[in-house]
Amino acid sequence: MRAPLSSLEQRSYDAIVIGGGAAGASSAQHLASQGYSTLLVDQGDFASGTSSRSSRLLYCGLAYFSPDYELWRFAYRPRDLLTRVRMAKLAMECRTQLMRTMPKRLNKHTFFFPVYRDSKYLGWKVDLGYKALGLFGSRDAPLNYRRIPAEAAADQFGLIRLMDRSRLESVGVFTEYQFNWAERICVDTVLDAERCGATVRNYTKAVKLERMPGSSWQVTLEDTQMTGSTAQVRGGILINAAGPWADQVNAQAVRSPRKRLVGIKGVNIMVKLPDGCRGLGMETISSIGQPFYCMPWGKYHFFGPTETVFDGNPEDVRVLPEEVAFILNEANTVFPSLALSQKDIIYSWSGVRPRTASTGHEGVKSLTIHDMSDDGMPNALTVTGTPIMLHRHAGRAVVSKVKQMRRPSQQGRTLSYGAKLPPDNQNSLPISYDYPEVKVADLRHAAAHEHVETLVDLLFRRVSLGWAGDMGLSSARAAAEAIADIVGWDDERVTAEVLGYARFVQEHFNPAQPASALG
């Protein structure tokens, strides 16, 4: 059982990090490893916001050399070219580092980029983009790009046989890497931050930020699981890594902070394609000029995303019928033989990505660390525009900024980028014979050591059952009962957790599997 929030009352830290997603977890990990006494808090569970709605792709960085970007623009905007080269290089470097240090959390897949006879994205432009990316590749995470004629590709790959070959001229073939599930990357990072000395708390909301003498900060915290439980802590540096909530957090400190982010809503739909497509994926440009993909996910695939500006509360984001219709139309344009419809959708989900605000309506895809001094928030930083694949780079960048502001008060420790795996227990039964890789012992280890507060935490973010075809509904009660003695749940609480899990799945994912699967 975790310590009461009151145990933090009047404690002081070198740095307080608000937000336990990818950027916040990495910031806490890197700060703690450098000897900064660090507190990490999240209003929900770790990785329960944007990080839990990731495409899960360890992206190669094609967007920076996208075939829809006209080459003549570089002549007039040379800085744009330099920025794109820098970001593409960074994407490939991060991809390599993750493959070297966390291979058990990644899967390798063959992906395609279709080249059509009637498209403005000509084969030579596609070649140019991928070959430019290939310059930044490595032996550990090679791009392996080549382009082959459509019919030859169809002979080799089931996914290509589903495309409209009357239009298809050729196919770019390359290697992509995918997180097993993105939330676990964040949880591993949080656990290592804790090992390095950070204090970490989920379900702990920063409800008030106050400047103190000497430009330090007093933060009032509230336990969102226990009504009325609060504590006040102090921090020398404030790191706002709250993702799409970042502007709301800044507004707790000053009346009118500058807008630092633009929320971009993304929607995905999960379907079952023919078995010959398993493990194969596709990236292309949609009919409205945005990225569009078909992503492998175990026995399934998901299509998406949509990209629309979202100005509401991130907690209220939901999938809309018109967004599903758009994705289905785009999927059927690429794969007309599938004739996908609403009845083929296994589940769907949406999330809000925090892009960095700019003069453009849709913001920019750029990791930015904002010094908040000009907003009346000295010794405060706000992090925006961090895709999960760049989270380690973001953590290192935050430490670099903090070092210019304050010295650490403690001895540092060597951090570890490796996966935090449960002890091997071959004698443990699986929680479900449909998913033999998740054992009862794994659930119990997570409950005892990984800050599990709810059944949703366990099945979505400590193990991957929540992202299975039935979304873990058939295993929910058995999972709750398996950890009840560790987390102190009586029969009434077990039932409440199971029902709460079903409500969460229904509300956020619109599953085809009925709630009766709970048994």
CATH number at residue 328: 3.30.9.10
Radius of gyration of the chain (CA): 23
Please give the Cα distance from 424 to 441 (Å, whole number). Answer: 9
How many Å separate Cα 205 from the centre of its chain?
A: 20
Tell me how far apart the alpha carbons of residues 297 and 54 are, in angstroms, rounded to a whole number: 13
Listed residue (315, 322, 317, 271) closest to 295, CA to CA: 271
Note down the domain range covering 477: 440-518
CA distance 304 to 268: 5
What whole-number distance in Å separates Cα of residue 426 and Cα of residue 428?
Answer: 6
Q: At which of 341, 356, 371 does a domain end?
A: 356
Q: What is the CATH number of the domain that holds 374?
A: 3.50.50.60
**Same domain flag for 483 and 510:** yes
The answer to whether residues 254 and 363 belong to one domain is yes
Q: Determine the angle formed by the axes of helices 476-487 and 440-449, rounding to 10 degrees.
A: 40
- Same domain for 341 and 197? no
Whether 190 and 308 share a structural domain: no
Name the DSSP letter for residue 338. Answer: T
Q: Is-contact 67 121, C-beta < 8 A?
A: yes
Residue 219 lies in a domain: yes
Is residue 497 situated within a structural domain?
yes
Q: Are residues 372 and 256 in the same domain?
A: yes
Residue 488 lies in a domain: yes
| Assigned token pair, 519 | 């048994």
* Residue 320 lies inside a defined structural domain of this protein: yes
Question: 201 and 223, same structural domain?
Answer: yes
Instruction: Specify the DSSP element, H or E, that contains 435.
Output: none
Express each pLDDT in 402-453 by its tens digit: 999 999 999 999 999 999 999 998 899 999 888 899 999 999 999 999 999 9
Residues 255 and 306 grouped into a single domain: no
- Per-residue pLDDT of 21-71, as tens digits, reads 999 999 999 999 999 999 999 999 999 999 998 888 877 666 666 555 554
The answer on 352 and 363 residing in a single domain is: no
Q: How many CB atoms lie within 10 A of CB 421?
A: 11
pTM: 0.93
Same domain, 16 and 46: yes
C-alpha distances (whole Å) from 26 to each of 17, 149, 401 are: 10, 43, 14
pLDDT at 2: 82
The reported pLDDT for the residue numbered 413 is: 97
Spell out, as residue ranges, where the chain has pLDDT lower than 50.
Answer: 71-72, 74-76, 516-519
Give the model's pLDDT for residue 111: 96
Partners of 172 in the β-ladder:
113, 147
Say if residue 252 is in the same domain as residue 365: yes
Whether the CB-CB separation of 454 and 464 falls below 8 Å is answered with no
List the structure tokens of 142.
């090679």
To 5 degrees, how large is the angle CA 446–CA 451–CA 455? 70
Q: Are 273 and 280 in contact (CB under 8 A)?
A: no
Question: How far is it, in rounded angstroms, from Cα 422 to Cα 443?
Answer: 9
Q: In total, how many domains does the chain have?
A: 3
Check whether residue 397 and residue 506 sit in a common domain. no
Sign of CA dihedral 379, 380, 385, 391: positive
Residue that finishes a domain, picked among 321, 356, 391: 356
- Separation between Cα atoms, residue 111 and residue 260, nearest integer Å: 34
Q: Are 39 and 188 within one domain?
A: yes
Residue 68 lies in a domain: no
What's the pLDDT tens digit per position in 446-482?
A: 999 999 999 999 999 999 999 999 999 999 999 999 9
86 is a domain residue: no
End residue of a domain, out of 340, 375, 403: 403
Residue 419 domain-assigned (yes or no): no
DSSP secondary structure letter of residue 508: H
Quick check: is 301 in a domain?
Answer: yes
